[in-house]
Every structure is written in structure tokens, then in C-alpha cells.
Amino acid sequence: MTLTRCIDELLGAVGIEDGGERSDCVRSVVASDFLYVDPHFVAASPKGLVDAFGWFRSEIGDEVEIVRTSEVEVNHDYFSYTWAQVRDGETVAEGFAFGCMDRSGQIRQIVNFEGQIAAPKCAYAQEVA
């Protein structure tokens, strides 16, 4: 499974009502030592993420989905992407995340931020351009 597909599966796991199915989905794409850092919670294992997604789902409601809104950028074993929470076709929140993979290609860590943060301008990049 590609990294992009793994990320999409993980984002989709938020919408899975059944805890067992949500667990199967999460465990199929993350490493056993997985860590997820979010402004609202920290999950230090796949089970912790399954539980946190269940809590999050109860807080935001069944009708909200989390979708990736950019290509997945990859730099060696690290990656980043942007996402949005969508309710009835309307974006209600957005942000970005970055993380890393283990050697087997499973997602090992994700750090999630709410809100868009513009990339800083690098003086060197301006000189080269």
C-alpha cells in the first residue's frame, strides 16, 4: 500500500463507527510504536489512537469527515500533507500534519496542527531564485 493510501485510510478511520473495524483499519497502516500528537490529545500507541478517534468522533459528530487536501510530500522517511474537516460540503476546520515512516513503510509518527501556517521564506531560496 502506498504512503498516500495509508494516510487516506488513517484519516478515514475517524469516520468508522465500529471500534473493532476502526482498530483493524488503524493497525493496518501504523507501526506498533506509533505516536500521534494533536492539539487535543496525544496517542502513544495504535490502541490509543483508536480510542482517541472514537472520542473525537463523538465530539464532532457522525457527519464530519477528515479529508486530505494536498499531495503527500515525502522527504526520505518523512512526509507532510494538509487536511480539512468537512461537514455537509463545508470546510469547518483545516490544518496540516507531518510525520515519519518506519523501514517497513508503516506510519510511525504524526504531528497534527490546526490552521494553516505559511511556510517561512528562506533568504537562501530567494537568492537562488
Q: Distances in Å between the alpha carbon of 103 and those of 1, 98, 129?
A: 14, 17, 35
Q: Which fold has domain 3-128?
A: Nuclear Transport Factor 2; Chain: A, (3.10.450)
pLDDT tens figures, 62-95: 788 999 999 999 999 999 999 999 998 999 999 9
pTM for the full model?
Answer: 0.85
Domain locations along the chain: 3-128
The residue written with cell numbers 537568492 in the block is 127
Q: Taking 90 as the threshold, does the pLDDT of residue 43 lie above it?
A: yes
Please report the pLDDT score of residue 63 as a whole number: 82
